Structure 1
Amino acid sequence: MSSMNEKIEVNHVEQEEDGNSQMSSTARENTILHDARKATEEEHALLAKQALKDYKPAIFWSMVMSGTILMEAYDSILILSLFAYPSFQKRYGKEISPGSYQITGPWQSALGCGSSIGIIIALAFNGVLVEKYGHRKIIIVSLFFMAAFIFVTVFAKNVEMLFVGQILNGFPWGFFSVIGLIYASEVAPLPLRGFLSAYVMMCWATGQLIAAGVLKAMLNDTTQWAYRLPFAIQWVWIPPIFVLTLLSPDSPYWLVRKGRVEEAEKSLKRLSSKSIHPNIKRKLKLLIHTNELEMKQASEFDDRFKGWKSYVECFKGPNRRRTEIACMSIAGQVLGGNNFAYSPSYFFSQVGLNSTQTYNLNLGITGLAWVGTFVSWFIAGKVGRRKIYITGIFFMTLFLLLIGVLQTPADNNPLVAWAQVGCTFAWVVSFVLTLAPLAYTITSEVSSTRLRSQSIAIGRNAYNLCQLTAQVVEPYFINPGNLGLKGRTGFIWFGTSFLTLIWAIFRLPETKDRTYEELDILFERKVPLTKFASYKLDINDENEIVLEIK
């Protein structure tokens, strides 16, 4: 059933607690089940206010791990915004008229998708490496390579070298993009799970806000450092994150999966205040029970959860549905028009706004994203995931349609462009209050604990493949040297956003206020999505906790 180490460690815990080295398998399961029931009750009874007091260490270490996303977020808006940056255009672009330079459509696509190529490759290895070596070791190694690869982008002599630098930087970003989310979902208590997983979006917004501020400050600098210095600033985050990662505890779920139960107990204590340490053993039993429950849901689990075979398991049985939801919920960010409306600097420049107006508005949008993400935490604590997601994608779809419709009058009256700007801001508000943070929460919650690294990696790669496609086609849609659609590009993203809305209505279940154990049961029983929130699980009924799998 589990590895020999797991059996030894788990039995050791039972021997310590019950003083019976000859405890039968049935008695052991009953003891774990009893404590798991009690821990489940405690999880549901815990209020967010109390959780903030009892789990301050978990909050802190989760924020440290998620902080690595700052670097990817910073560069994601940096490279796209530099396309409209005068000194950058002159250095890496092509002269289209005397004194006027432009990054060509093909190179816009290449630079925009360069990091995505590296990220996609890294994510393919993420599920295997993180599960084998743990979150901390992978982040430490990734930070080392990140420090080296930044040199390439800072000192790139031509656009080809800059493109290679973007690909190389994408490798560590691929690990950063999911490890913080995986870690947060595994260390957070139930009432804070949505907050800490959504904090990933706060890191995105913070990184992008810093990038917008840096670009605004360097706008009037005509030297080469106007674009080299923004790349170099990425070195600033590496030392503090490196040191804090060294000091952080491993995920207790990961330690249980590796059979290191005693270490998992110590980790649980490090992630909580001393006032709840008497309850730690029950919490540990819930982790053990959830792990064994998921192992029972697959035959020949020892082989199917190891190495690359674990990816195959993500597409079998109940996990197939969970993987679909993980992929679509986060890919919906791109399908909902992310590349067009969330990074609109180039769009604003093409509808007639000057560089100063463009970067002022860009700074405003990133500031709005930061505030909106903060507000979304309170909404997520009150409203279900499904309702928030569907509402958000509905309004995003509507505003994309309006941007497209307004382009015809904008062609004749430049003032109408400001109405498009208003719709873009409205889209951003809808996005940052709903899909932006909730997509990460849903992706982390919907996966099983034993396949979390693999499921989130697959989901994030679904996002990256959509992102890669969008980064290739978006410049052709909007570049005046190609299709030059300007605001009519909104019609294209309206179509993909509308399809995402239809998917969410018919396929997205409610995961709020469910423990991972309960979600395992709901997916195993193929509970219809309309009943996910209301389905009753009696924790005092053994049949509700332990699935009978024949």
Structure 2
Amino acid sequence: MASQEEKPPVETNRVDDATEKVPGLHGKEDLDDAQRATQAEHETTLKQALRENYMAIIWSAIVSLTIVMEGYDLNLMQNFFGYPSFTAKFGTYDPGSDSNQLTGAWQAGLVQGTNAGVIIGGFMNGWFSSRYGYRRTLMAALVCQTGFIFISFFAVSIEMLLVGQMLCGLTWGVYATTGPAYASEVCPLALRGYLTVYVNLCWAMGQFISSGIIQGLVSNETQWGWRIPIAVQWVWPVPIVIAIIFAPESPWWLVRKDRFDEALHVLCRLTTRSEEHCRASLSQIQHTTRLEDEMNHGVSYLDCFKGVNLRRTEICIMVFVGAQLSGSNFAYSPSYFLLQAGLGVQDAYNFGLGGTALAFVGTMLSWILLTYFGRRAIFLAGMLGDAIVLFVVAISSAAAPNAQDSLWVQVSFMMLWQAIYSLSVGPIGYAIVSETSAVQLRPQTVVLARNSYNVVYIICGILNPYMINPTEWNLQGKTAFVWASTASLMVVWIFFRLPETKDRTYEELDVLFSHKIPARGFKKAKVDAYGETVD
């Protein structure tokens, strides 16, 4: 009898062999279903997708509403630095400005302490979401935040306020990384870009509400002038957590856990299409899972830096980091800068409110750009526009640092910066990160990208107050030279490294990355995700 080593190799059919690697995927028929589902995704129009997937839109929108809370508070804290009732409570008298001021150290401490909490919360979310799913992790965070807000609201010292902000930051780290990941996994291809960008709209919504409340209370010099804006945060957690109790889990997460019947049930809940169509979609998810199983051999943070995932992780990190390097810490919430530049308190906060309104409108208008242009083109044009505007602000400040006309030029161009950012870099980044990350590693990749953003935000947040603060470096508008330079460096990176992900299914993106297609070749490449070939 021949030994096992001497047996001739058994010929296998590639399709049948592939399906054996995925539990629940039974032979060529299911693989054909997956291929039909991919073709249907490419052929589905926006109007049809809106009509057939309104439940997916509703659930994605509800989950993304948690981002409103993060945008609200982070904008609130930055605007508090020049807020009369807040500085009266937590600041110290500065003879130079004849007013109470928070020192540069405490300005940096409050913002960056919060972001330290966001970073820790983000890393925790990557593990919890992968193990327990998006729903349960999100509900736990919402319940915790309801309690943490009490600490900030009843703060009697700046140290107590810092503790409250850091604990709330843990929950915001969960929201910031769950929203885009969940939206990208419950929505079809035709809606994916719009609903991941909606995450940024929720951020802008939170900032707009925050700016409106503090603008309305800026003349209130009692303790309620700063306590009421903090108390408003209790409005969101309870109704959102009640809604999420009834929300479906991501079908992609369920497939990763081999819970195929539940995944099919969820797919049927998310669309009005037939059960046959949902079964085909399930086969498509399983096929993509099989592709990624062959490329990846784990779902840890370390796996994000192995093989083809290293490139995908680099792109996701740089896109989110680019939002900071574009100058957002300086220009996105300019109330403190405008106050130090000589604008009155009411005018400064009026401009702050106007800027957040621009962000809200700009994000909605970015949906129009998404329809006609690719993610790469929008992101590149936006970063280039922001760099040019910042150079204009810096040159204007350097040419006439104390002139009133120069101040209004700076104000006008900072508003233009906000408009450009809100049309491009801010919202489009969410779509790029959600689409570029591998499905199996999405929670971890989004967390790494978002936390890289937070680390850079901490660095920028420490430097920016020192550059502007009259008791520190006092660079005023010349601070824009720094951020114009970093934005210019990002333009170079985008041109050479950022691929186009528009109109690509996740399995097609897997194939493109596995074949190491250059960034500028993604748009024109022809992909057969089932033959796993690229032309």
TM-score, structure 1 as length reference: 0.92
Structure 1 residue 88 displacement after superposition: 0.7
Deviation at 1:237, TM superposition (A): 0.5
Are the counterparts in 2 of residues 369 and 432 from structure 1 also a CA contact under 8 Å? Answer: yes
| Paired position in structure 1 for 2:343 | 353
| Residue pair 2:181, 2:442 contacting (<8 A) in 1 also | yes
Pairing of 1:331-410 with structure 2 (within 5 A): 331-410=321-400
1:452 equivalent to 2:442? Answer yes
- Which residue of 2 is the match for residue 495 of structure 1? 485
- Equivalent in 285, 292, 297 of residue 295 of structure 2: 297
> Which residue is equivalent to 2:8?
none
Q: For 1:58-110, what per-residue CA distance to the aligned partner results, in whole angstroms no more than 9, with x for missing partners?
A: 00000011110111100011000011111111110011139621111110110
Whole-angstrom distance in 2 between the partners of 1:99 and 1:332 = 37
Alignment of 1:133-532 (within 5 A): 133-273=132-272, 275-298=273-296, 301=297, 304-305=298-299, 310-532=300-522
> Which residue of 40, 43, 46 corresponds with 2:44?
46
Q: Work out the CA distance in 1 between the residues paired with 2:411 and 2:303.
A: 45
What amino acid maps onto 2:276 in structure 1?
Answer: P
User: Which one-letter code corresponds to 1:207 in the other structure?
Assistant: G
Residues 11-50 of structure 1: matches in 2 within 5 Å? 13=24, 28-50=26-48
Distance in 1, Cα, partners of 2:427 & 2:254: 27
State whether residues 149 and 164 of structure 2, in contact with CA within 8 Å, keep that contact through their aligned partners in structure 1.
yes
Q: Distance in 1 between matches of 2:251 and 2:401?
A: 58
State the 1:542 CA deviation.
2.8
Code of the residue aligned with 2:292 in structure 1: it is E
1:72 alignment counterpart: 70
Paired with 2:532 and 2:213, the residues of 1 have a C-alpha distance of: 58
2-structure distance, mates of 1:462, 1:528: 24
Query: Matched residues in 2 for 1:67 and 1:271: separation?
Result: 18
Which amino acid letter does the alignment assign opposite residue 341 of structure 1? Answer: A
Distance 1:9 1:226 in 2: 61
Instruction: Determine if contact 2:22/2:287 at 8 Å carries over to the other structure.
Output: no
Aligned to 2:10: none
Q: Measure, in 2, the Cα distance between the counterparts of 1:118 and 1:242.
A: 21
Shift, 1:543, TM fit:
4.4
> In structure 1, what is the Cα distance between the partners aligned to 2:21 and 2:315?
34
SS of 2:100's partner is: strand
SS at match of 1:221: coil
Mean Cα deviation higher: 425-434 or 400-409 = 400-409
* Worse-superposed segment, 411-420 or 388-397: 411-420
Task: Give, in whole Å, the separation in 2 of the partners of 1:528 and 1:42.
Answer: 27
1:9–1:260 CA contact under 8 A, matched in 2:
no
Secondary structure in structure 1 of the residue aligned to 2:258: coil
Instruction: Please tell me whether the aligned partners of residues 108 and 475 of structure 1 are also in contact (alpha carbons under 8 angstroms).
Output: yes
Q: Which amino acid aligns with 2:124?
A: F
One-letter amino acid matched to 1:346:
Y
Contact 1:54 1:276 in 2 (8 A): no
After superposing the two structures, state which structure 1 stretch, 407-416 or 178-187, moved more: 407-416
- Equivalent residue, structure 2, for 1:533: 523
Larger mean Cα displacement after TM superposition, 248-257 or 124-133: 124-133
- 2:326–2:486 Cα contact (<8 Å) kept: yes
- Secondary structure at 1:317 match in 2: coil
1:18 matched residue in structure 2: none
Q: What is the CA-CA distance between 1:155 and the residue it aligns to?
A: 1.0
Is the Cα–Cα contact under 8 Å of residues 194 and 381 in structure 1 kept in the other structure? no
Q: CA RMSD in A?
A: 1.5
Between the two proteins, what is the percent identity of the paired residues?
42
Q: CA deviation at 1:521?
A: 0.1
Q: Is the 8 A contact 1:326 1:459 kept in 2?
A: yes
Contact 2:511 2:532 in 1 (8 A): no
| Partners of 1:391 and 1:276 in 2: CA distance | 41
Letter in 2 for 1:391: A
* Cα distance between partner residues in 2 of 1:113 and 1:519: 35
Q: Cα distance, 1:165 vs. partner?
A: 1.2
User: Which amino acid is 2:371 matched to?
Assistant: G
Q: Which residue of 1 aligns with 2:6?
A: none
| TM-superposition CA deviations, 1:251-287 (whole Å, max 9, x none) | 00000000000000000011111x4433111000000
Alpha carbons 1:445, 1:516 under 8 Å: kept? yes
Residue 133 of structure 1 and its aligned partner are, at CA, apart by 0.3
1:354-378, Cα deviation, whole Å (9 max, x unpaired): 0010011111111111001000011
Which runs of no fewer than 5 residues in structure 1 stay unpaired?
1-6, 15-27, 546-550
Which residue identity is paired with 2:340?
Answer: Q
Confirm or deny: 8 A CA contact 1:114 1:167 kept in the other structure. Answer: yes
Deviations 1:304-363 (A, max 9, x none): 32xxxx111100110000000000011111010010000100111111100010011111
**Residue 101 of structure 2 is aligned to residue 102 of structure 1:** yes
Q: Which residue of 2 aligns with 1:90?
A: 88
User: Partner amino acid for 1:448?
Assistant: A
2-side partners of 1:381 and 1:445: how far apart? 16
* TM-aligned CA deviation for residue 8 of structure 1: 11
Structure 2 Cα separation of the partners of residues 422 and 226 of structure 1: 29
5 Å-filtered alignment, 1:108-147, equals 108-147=107-146
Q: Deviations over 1:192-248 (max 9, x none)?
A: 100000000000010000001100111111110100110010000011101001010
8 Å Cα contact 2:508/2:528 also seen in 1: no
Preserved contact between residue 10 and residue 261 of structure 1 (Cα < 8 Å): no
Identify if the C-alpha distance between structure 1 residues 437 and 276 changes in structure 2 by more than 3 Å, giving closer, same or farther. farther
Q: 1:39-66 CA distances to partner (integer Å, 9 max, x unpaired)?
A: 1100000011110000000000000111
1:391-450 Cα shifts (integer Å, max 9, x gaps): 000000001111110013332421210000111011111100001111111001001110
Counterpart position of 1:548:
none
